[in-house]
Structure 1
Amino acid sequence: MKQWILKLLKIIGIALTVLLAGLIILIFFTGPKLPENADSIIDQVLDSPIPELVKGESGYIVSDNTKIWYESVMPKDTNKGAVLLFMGISNDALGWPQKFTDKFVENGYQVIRFDYRGTGFSDWVENWEEKPYALADLATDAKIILDTLKIKKVHLVGVSLGGMVAQEFAIKYTDRTKTLTSIMSSGNITDPELPQISKRVVFDLVKTAIKYGIISNEKNTIKLQLAARTILRGNAHYPINVKDISEQILYNLRKRNGYNLNASSQHHEATYRSGSRYDQLKELKLPVLIIHGINDPFIPIEHSKKLAKIIPHSKTKWFENMGHDIQPVHMEAISQEIILNFGSDRY
């Protein structure tokens, strides 16, 4: 009897070893291929001085006993108005590419970006159960920033989760909103009539996080972000800006607070706590631009198409060969569409 038990344990041990080996192979030898010359570019960035990425006036506000960091960049000449930027899930203000935000400043607009709760220099929520929040709370954080800067009305631009927060702002503070631009986002991410967030993409992102997160160092953190961008590109074909992304990540690691591992799950929970915005969005009476990449593998374009049907007089722009990301190849066209919407007379 004893020998039988030992033999069974041995078989179980072998099976677990094989399973573990298979899992290791799955994680470390599959997944997205990093952009060409990524290693050499990363090494060059690691060995070079980090460029300054915060060029405007920065400060803090306090919202619901939570400290929120923001930056305001003024145009050189005439100020045509303010643009308030909302970044995607678990990303801080620096997630906005400098070359993209510069296009608004160069066209005469004040640009404001801020770190969500749980990111960058803003307070990180240590105990979610004691201090949960919804997307509307993130919108209120932004509104208090405007109060502090004495700005009455703004153009809203949000990407992914940021598009949802921008929608919440437009609904809750319509009198403070000039225009709304929603980029690769949704009015109800759990809408049963629409394709849901891709489980395959989520699995690939988790697998990539394990691959580059087991040995945590600056180079692997950069590789993790680059691999995630590759996954979010889907079946589109365009270059990923390795140098700029590497510099932004390194700036966060060396000059800011790095990356909060809990931010993604907390923002995810805030999204699901917020529910549908369809009924409120139907009542919006302001120029709305809806942008989405046709190749988006994360939030299917059907979400933006439904938004367009719901929001009165909204304008749409679907970009071919674009995934769930804003890369240099699309920046000029996207910024031009947004600036055109700033001057819209649809209302």
Structure 2
Amino acid sequence: MDKTAERAATTPTRYLDVDGVRYAYREVGPDNPVDKTPILFLHRFRGTLDDWDPGFVDALAKTRHVILFSDQEVGSSSGSAATSVDEKARNAADFAKKLGFLTIDVLGFSMGGFVAQAIAINEPTLVRKVIIVGAAGGGNPEAAPPTDIVFEIALRPEYSLEDVRYLFFAEGRDEETRAYLDRRATRTSSQEPPVTPEVIGKMVSLIGDFMSGKTGHYEKLKDLRQPTLIVSGDRDPFFPFKNIWMLYRELPNAQLLAYPNSGHGPHQQHPEEVAEKIEYFLSTT
């Protein structure tokens, strides 16, 4: 059966055992994609399988085999939550290999963008192409700081509509924010449990280590030689555009796609358009 008939909102959650850890994942895409190489989605801070925008996933899955992945102790995945970006990268690589793939493309959103950088650097024969959405590099002392209140909002137990708007969209983009929330709400079965406070604490710590330069990933960016597409909004409260530009500057083989009056999640504000640009990138580079 063609997986596009299921769509992101209805495709079942599957599980894969890797060395005693049960990883939760979902697959969407046609029976005969334009390319056999799948796209492994790596999620943001606090994100579960349910938080991916179904409109964006479905748009990309018209032609591509999309795999949504939950790392250890996120959602219904078992195991113990990773304490470093490199550990998250190893987990994702082990999962992809156990699923039977020798080559993958990776798409990382926000914290997942850190993981996408790490897995591409650490697994150059596994990762063919890289898409980084709403993320910069970590460890550059010239980086501009985030807004004063963004982390306070990001750590709230639950997000209001205005919180979602501030975190992921640009000011005045209430209509697009509601549209995203409506699309996300179409998932009514097999929903994932929220990320626990303990795991959130581990995520905060590994993000801090990466962004402060403690992990040394900024110096390794020269080794990320795969074709890379960076997708960013120019009003991102987490990563001022200067930081996105510095990531682009350090990568040997990168393209930068910037959306004006767009925030941290340009793929949620412009789901079909961003999917179209990613498809073009995957088809032509």
Scaled by the length of structure 1, the TM-score of the pair is: 0.70
Task: Tell whether the 8 Å contact from 1:179 to 1:341 is kept in structure 2 after alignment.
Answer: no
Q: Give the corresponding residue for 1:258.
A: 194
Letter in 2 for 1:180: V
Higher-helix-fraction structure: 1
1:31-56 Cα distance to aligned partner (Å, 9 max, x none): xxxxxxxxxxxxxxxxxxxx983515
Question: How many correspondences in the alignment?
Answer: 270
What is the Cα deviation at residue 174 of structure 1? 0.8
SS of aligned partner of 1:307 = helix
Letter in 2 for 1:228: D
Unaligned runs of 5+ in 1: 1-50, 126-130, 214-220
SS of aligned partner of 2:270 = helix
In 1, the alpha carbon distance for the partners of 2:195 and 2:48 equals: 9
Change (3 A) 1:88 1:317: same
Task: Tell whether the 8 Å contact from 1:226 to 1:245 is kept in structure 2 after alignment.
Answer: no
Change (3 A) 1:199 1:191: farther
In 2, the alpha carbon distance for the partners of 1:234 and 1:276 equals: 31
Change (3 A) 1:185 1:337: same
In 2, the alpha carbon distance for the partners of 1:52 and 1:294 equals: 28
In 2, the alpha carbon distance for the partners of 1:307 and 1:236 equals: 28
Letter in 2 for 1:147: K
Letter in 2 for 1:120: G
Q: Give the corresponding residue for 2:43.
A: 87
The structure 2 residue matched to 1:269, chosen from 191, 199, 205, is 205
1:340 aligns with 2:276: no
Change (3 A) 1:341 1:227: same
Moved over 6 A (4+): none
1:199 aligns with 2:159: no
1:105 aligns with 2:61: yes
Q: Give the corresponding residue for 2:131.
A: 181
Unaligned runs of 5+ in 2: 1-6
Change (3 A) 1:172 1:247: same
Scaled by the length of structure 2, the TM-score of the pair is: 0.84
In 1, the alpha carbon distance for the partners of 2:112 and 2:54 equals: 17
Change (3 A) 1:55 1:69: same
Task: Tell whether the 8 Å contact from 1:118 to 1:262 is kept in structure 2 after alignment.
Answer: no
1:153 aligns with 2:103: yes
Task: Tell whether the 8 Å contact from 2:233 to 2:266 is kept in structure 1 after alignment.
Answer: no
Task: Tell whether the 8 Å contact from 2:110 to 2:133 is kept in structure 1 after alignment.
Answer: yes
In 2, the alpha carbon distance for the partners of 1:123 and 1:71 equals: 15
In 2, the alpha carbon distance for the partners of 1:340 and 1:263 equals: 36
In 1, the alpha carbon distance for the partners of 2:108 and 2:152 equals: 25
In 1, the alpha carbon distance for the partners of 2:194 and 2:253 equals: 41
Q: Select the structure of larger CA radius of gyration.
A: 1
SS of aligned partner of 1:157 = strand
Change (3 A) 1:77 1:314: same
